[in-house]
Structure 1
Amino acid sequence: MTATLAAEPYRVLRIVHEDRCVSIRRVVSARDGRSRLLKVQRTNDPRAADPLRRELEVAGALDPSVALHPVEMSTFEGRPALVLEDFGGVPLRQAMGAPMEVGLALRIAARLASCLESVHRKGLVHRNLQPENVYFDARTGEVKLTGFGIATTTAEGRHDTASNAIEGTPPYMAPEQGGRLDRALDRRADLYAVGVILVEMLTGLRPGEKDDVLGWAQRHLAEAVRPSALHPACAVSDIVSKLLQELPEDRYQTAAELHDDLARCLDVPSSQQLFDGAASAPSGATAAAMRGTLLELAQVLSNETARWRLLRGLTRLLTEQAGARRAVFLSVSGGGSAIECSAGPVGGVPASIVEQVIRTRERLLISDASIPNPHSTDPYIATKRPKSIACLPIVRHTTLLGIVYLENDLVASAFTKDRMAVAELLTDQAGISLENAKLHAAQLREIAERQQAEATLRAILDNMVDAVLVCDRAGRLTFTNPAALRLFGLVDVSGGGPLPVEMFCQRLRPMRPDGEPFEVDELPLLRALAGEVLSSVDMTVRHPGTGRAIHLRVSAAPLQDERGALAGAVSLALNVTEAIELDRLKEQFIRVVAHELKTPVAIVKGYADLLRRIDKASGKQQRFLDALIRGTDRIDRLVTDLLLLWQLQTGRLALAPEAGVDLVELVDLVVGRFERETSRRVEVVSCRPMIVTADRLLVERAVVGLLDNALRYSPGGGDVQIRMGRKDGRATVDIEDHGIGIPKDKQADLFEPFYRAHTDTAYDSGGLGLGLYVAKAVAVLHGGNVEAESREGEGSTFHLTLPVQADVAERVS
């Protein structure tokens, strides 16, 4: 069962206590793994929450060492509930029902008196002290109070009729609490209840037990529990008698006085008995009750999940219940052992006994260690001379979890059959609890690791500059990171519950780059819910507040749970508005610059060409005009190359494919032009036909770039060869020079824009470094490629490949 408390999930472990008014459950937080107590009213009456609110107010002001500290008010299954800190204790009622060992009862009563002294110093009267409202941890001896729902702050001696209303639990109510005596209700009423609880711990019986509430009060008045009903005793009888006096002025006046008397009783040497016959063998009924008590104590061990508290409780219980003056737990590793926890006098252990138990995994009992035995020569036994020794292995599923060593240095035969049964019962339960503690520790580590991973993921998402949106399998937004909230001008979508993706998108009005709206089922997040993985979907949305257009690049993917089932979808949105605007500005700039440069260049070239045709121009003037025309042609090519580069990089270059382009003819035209302009010889070897479908002008630009590169880096007038042919259904144009070649470490960047392998060298021939980049980009656009081979000092070969037109290829083959 899972409870939701103040938006925090808790897992209910078990019911700790239940009566007609409240139910107390031990729960575990799914968030941090911490244990809590959940006190739930068993009625839906609106007034049922009043005692819980009163306890929140009163107990919250007390020291946490005195009372179960309240965390918050909440609800459970529609009923009022109070969340309390859990220190591991259980209601004292669970440790009662059979006569309790006298020393233990007195220690609990002394701790209870100490807690009450702190409460009374705050001017408070508990008014409902009973074993159900006293929590006791048998492992540590801690006692804490709860049940402050009817606590008052009435000053001592002041008569308050509201306080004297019959409220409380009858068996533990002082005579004045029922209104039968004309006395003020003050802290001495709480001390009366301590007397009843002490009697119950010592005898296992409730004094004056009846069913009628008023009858209980009358019985307290007429038949106060007499000390003679207890075991014959001296100091303890006096304490009980004084606690249960009818008149408040005849009782203890403060809890501090009671604590002092109990402390004096506990100082009686252990060789003396506080009660006559306390050391005698128990009767059959008493033995059965003791077994019940031991089972309760074993249950206390079973509830512990912290290893150190478990071992501390185990060793303490063994000294209290199994006749040991010392109890030691030894952890075992690699065949060796080490003391991990102990109770009683500090000391070592006999190594030979521990080694035997580790080896045999069987218990070892020496009733009288003073009599010669196989371990008499052990240095520890020879030096310390203990009287009684017992050593028990803790084994679970063939695994040795530890060793328990018990010792009594006062009497021999201390470990009787019954006491060994007690020891085995406790160690068996400890073995189970040690396994559980290991599992619990692993669970806590897993929770801590998960929390750390979640915190890391949260920090990453919170600090991302890109928007992240997550929806569940029903298409409702369940998470938006801060970047998404800022980008879309929204508040947290989880604030008013999950928001449907459709409604979210209606606010943003997503559009395609062409201006068409997205259909709902075309939205990336919803497509991801259908199982698609999408990358870089361009869309434009409108900011809800400003109406400004926001350009997004969206990716989305489905989310799966641990079983692989669809759990939702996640989307990442990059704001590319600035990049889009920058591209538009670049496009506008390049178009304007190209136009503004090309226009005057064309005018200069036109007039130069006109002048060159005039017959009167001298030879020197003709040379000047030729140089002017070549310069204008170079400027024109540079502008054209820059425009082409931008079109290639932005994907805006539109091909104009033309069927039946003869690649051999095209290469011949380019070679002829170069030979006329450079007076360089280019050898062409070809076969006909080589027909391709291509953009004639772009392919010509690619051949020009490759041939220009070959001629530039063939100094001294070296020849260049062009070999043309077919290979694997593709047309090949290999342009080879015998020039300076390209260093190996620079060949990887040959086809990058603006890269010149020989920059700042003696072979630097200028240029923008765009020829090879454009050639390769044009070839790739046509489904072909450009590759290079080069050896420094020997020359280079560039291989241009293009698909051959299908019908021609078939006809030729």
Structure 2
Amino acid sequence: MIKKIFRSTLLANFLVLLASLALIMGALYRYFTQVQMEQLQTQTALAAKGISAEGMDYFDGLKTTSTRITWVDNTGQVLYDTDYDAQTMENHGDRQEIKDAIETGYGESSRYSSTLTQTSLYIAQRLDNGTVVRLSVTQHSVVLLLLGILPMLLLIAAVVVILSVLVAKYTAKRLVQPLNQLNLDAPLENPAYEEISPLLRRIDHQQKELASQEQLLLQRKGEFDTIISKIREGMVLLDNRGQIISMNPAAQILLQTDESSIGKEILELVRNLQLHQLIEEGVAGRKGETIFNVDQTTYKVLARPVISEDQLTGMVLLFFDVTDQWQAEQMRREFTANVSHELKTPLHIISGYSEMLRNQLVSEEDVQVFAQKIHTEAQRMVQLVEDVINLSLLDETPQITMEEVDLYQLAAESLESLSGKASQKQISLHLKGEPALLKGNRALLSSVIYNLCDNAITYNQSKGGVFVTINKTDQKVVLEVKDTGIGIPKDEGDRIFERFYRVDKSRSKKVGGTGLGLSIVKHALKCHGASIQVDSQIGKGTRMIVTFPVEK
């Protein structure tokens, strides 16, 4: 702005200088012309007096430099001329100044010569004898006048230019200084030019509007930050270049970062190919989702582009913890595969034996054996289906009916039901303890005791024993099932409660079982808030200790 004002001021000074020079030259030229005319008039009057008194003798010894004197008679015939021979000169009776002088006694005129580019001034006066004396001088043009005073003009112009530059710089600084010192935080308090008062009032109005909008934005941002800080899922806001705009605490914990990551690209924090591809989809304006694993946690990441006026302004990344769902889905797939596998084996056996019977490929003495095998496999399938149904009910039933149950009585009933199976394997059953009342579901608790005792019989040694003990205190009821069986390796103690998991698959096939019994036990105990502890030694037996809390 200072340069613009400086150039404008300097240009104005130059224009003023040129205009002043033109006016001064015109005034000087006019003034010099007037002075020259007055001098010529005086000289003409003097010459007329001299010629009237002396006649032709007046011209003897007369020296003229810039003035020409011509004497003519009353007919215009030249009698004498200081510059030319009078006899060779033409008649001057047609000259305007001479004609006027003959008629009125005085005449003057001026004539311009384009060849010589100069003007001649003429003044004529009639003498008493009727003759006319004329004096003329040459008047130089403005250009010649300008050239005559050119050195002085150049000196003056140099001084004026220097002064103009200084004045222009000083003026520009003085004009801009109040503008540079404006306090835009309080526009109306500035003692500035009156001409910019409307601008200052406009600025003040806009600042008030901006302050109001800023306050509203801060309020909205605070509300937004408060809302997203309470969201358990991770949320990351990105601009259209993939740089982080905002991130809630859950996302900061997930990505192991803090607020210093604002303004960075999210791919600087996380090196993940699936996430990189997801962000590329979002930048392209398309929705997307992927699975993102961190340590032992599985997250489902959703990318949602933000479109405003058909332009991509950013995107939102949402991180949902789907570890439980993912594990449940994996368990469902494994469960489906295991059930299919467990059902396929007895079905193949039943199909094979029945086909042999239908085609009469079995001797009479083996028919009973084949029938027994078909019956055994059918019972195994029935037991598997019943266990699957029980597990499904436990998974899908949010609430179960609770009542007062005597755990000792349930244990006695379960051992009674298993006495036939124990007798076949020559295994003795023992029950110790006292009546123990607790609040629970009779069917589930009976299933817990039955499955624990059934496993104790199934995986026991021939002529072994199963020992069931019920103890009760004010805080808990403890169920202990001990056997003298084959035992469980320590590294597999935590896996025996998984569905279809068997420690010794070859033995399990021989002794039967579905691999779901302990899974049912685990779910039933979970419904009662109980815990189970496994203590086992290979070849010496296993002890299962179940602890039920007692409600006061």
Larger Rg: 2
Higher helix share goes to which structure? 2
Choose between structure 1 and 2 for higher RCO, CA contacts under 8 A separated by at least 6 residues. 2
Query: Under a length normalisation based on structure 1, what TM-score does the superposition of the two structures give?
Result: 0.28
How does the TM-score come out when normalised to structure 2? Answer: 0.39
